[in-house]
Amino acid sequence: MVPRIQALADAFCHLNGAFDPQGEAYRFRNPLRLKAFSPRHDKDEKSGLRVFRSFTSGYDNGIIDLTIKCSGKSFSKIGPSSTLRDLVCLYGNSPAATRTIKNFLQTALQDQSILETTPLSFFIENTVKE
């Protein structure tokens, strides 16, 4: 079974077109379209998105970012009781994009109980459904 936090990252990869060679997520090796906040981070000056050396680095940083946000350890006003919709919007997407994320997660995790209002704590729990 796919770990929930990885399925969440995969859902954002899908939404962002991480494998579309014409898109920024692909070109910048940044599948979650993470913004650069530190001056030490390589970034695209136009979009402010981080530029990674490999897809793996971008994906791993995305997992770290999602884990921080879902656990409430982020500087953003989001935490375990925030909803999937809150997270989708925090990443700069419209609320309507939550449906795409929700549908992906329901299929990936084989769990129809995942809704747009599912709390983020769901994605950081240690247990997975068998």
Please report, for the chain, the start and end positions of each structural domain, with discontinuous segments joined by +: 4-123
> What's the CA gap between 56 and 116, in Å, rounded?
28
Average predicted confidence (pLDDT) for the chain:
94
Is there a contact between 117 and 85 (Cβ–Cβ < 8 Å)?
yes
pTM of the model: 0.92
Look at residue 128 and tell me whether its pLDDT is greater than 60: no
* Per-residue model confidence as pLDDT tens digits over 52-108: 999 999 999 999 999 999 999 988 889 999 999 999 999 999 999 999 999 999 999
User: What is the DSSP code (8-state) at residue 122?
Assistant: G
> What's the CA gap between 118 and 64, in Å, rounded?
20
Is there a contact between 106 and 8 (Cβ–Cβ < 8 Å)?
no
CA atoms within 13 A on the CB side of 4: 19
